[in-house]
Structure 1
Amino acid sequence: MKENPLFLLALFLASIVPLFFKKWLGAEVWMMLAVIAALTVMFSLFALLKQQATSHIIAFGRVFFFGMIILPYMVIFKEFSSWSLLIPLLACYIFADLHRHLKWLYVLVAMALLVAPMVVYVKYDTAKQAIIHHSTQTLSGSIPKSKSSFTKPCGKGGRCTFYFLDLAGVKFQCDLHSKKTMDTFICQDIYQHAGKIATAQYIFENQKKARLVSLRVDNQTLWSPEQTLAWYQHRERTVWREFGVGLLLISLPFALLFLWARRLAFQAA
């Protein structure tokens, strides 16, 4: 099969250019893209030396390009708990690709990709409406002296530590290394009032994760519903920005490259 240097150049640029937009893509998508881009470049250069780059990429293309097209969905699936939920989705696609008679799997994958952003939209809208209409739960309890923590396995043989405020048995998680106001308040600032009785309003995300809405101590508001609403709005804007930029800079170029690869394969047949 005759080499197509323009295709290889386009593949190289599609893998490298998004790396210059780390701030807009989000850290996790960027890191995954960086690993894939490095492997893609090495593979292309190695195969090019053997004059078989295009044919190798096209042969492997269906799974590779689909994986790149759905890469921005890491941002969306992280909202459900973990971006690793993309792995079974990719597995379904591979299985369907190996068994062409199971076309319903393609439909299932497509539906998941269409429905997931809608579910995230509903999640944020439901949380904001609950705050606006005061559809919250209330508790009272003594503020502890310090944050609590627990560890669980993560990665390959590693363990991750998660921190939270335990107030009357309800756990409000926070990111110790985050500079966001809610995380700073729950992980650090609130313990200046240790031993005092706090009255808190909260909601549950995904029916299980408690999210602080407001907190009062001695008739003083330490955290207000307006702050929580602003936090949700900022977080939602960040999710849609990272997802949209990912679709534009990663999904669209690799979808076009996939169509180009199919055309090259058709011409070579």
Structure 2
Amino acid sequence: MTTHRYAVFGHPVAHSLSPRIHAAFARQTGVTLEYTAIDSAPHDFVAALDRFVGAGGVGANVTLPLKEAAFAICARTSERAQRAGAVNTLSWNDGQWYGDNTDGIGLVRDLTGRNALDLRGRRAVLLGAGGAARGVAPALLDAGVAELVIVNRSPERADALADALGDPERAHSRYWKDLEQLGDFGLVINATSAGRGQIDASAFDLPFALTTPRTLAVDLNYGEAAIPFLAWAKAAGCHDAVDGLGMLVEQAAVAFEEWHGISPDADAVYAALRRKDDLLVTAD
């Protein structure tokens, strides 16, 4: 029986739960695969992918900070990836890479499905404009947010993302220093990596004026990296605060189905991760 090779690429990537998630999906569905984590700095990414293919690699997930680089190396991309300008799922077909972006659909499935939250009509602020933000921004517009304000410490990146979305009536960029003057939002999304390596809520010195008692706060990070933002959301009195674990599982489920033609049970794997079940053979 042939064992196909898959991997998640990132820098750093040792923290990634993707190998455990895909192993759990494989056990559910009877798929035989090898899935590993490969740390690759941006300057070595193309060479790392070449080595991966040479060793039998046929598909990969891509995480921070390589999603825009992954888009650039693809011969073909999905409409989702084109709108995002970033790729998180790679498939090796006929000697070339095909790229998709499953982040946005993963986030919306988690929020509107698992958490039963309605995004329609909400005024949203997106903190960050890198690969993660690019992946979710189009899906947020499709999900019906009334307005999407993109704020990034490098304003030119926020401008570029707003322009790329092609919806000037709803998608705008603003300066980080102006956060206190932007008014309140029904949805605050952290797509930065500011919490990585920190467990102090002071890592997020955001104005409470961004929120109301009805605000939904979402961090695309999970685990310790989400602690500072979620602590800020609690202190700000947000109605709901959600980390990125559900999004991670849902986007992985979409990628798994693309690769194997089988839809896994994402809810079971999500529940196991939340309770740190032995199903996932955790190494923590």
Q: Which has the higher contact order (CA 8 A, sep 6+)?
A: 1
Higher helix content, 1 or 2: 1
Larger radius of gyration, structure 1 or 2?
1
Calculate the TM-score normalised by the size of structure 2.
0.23
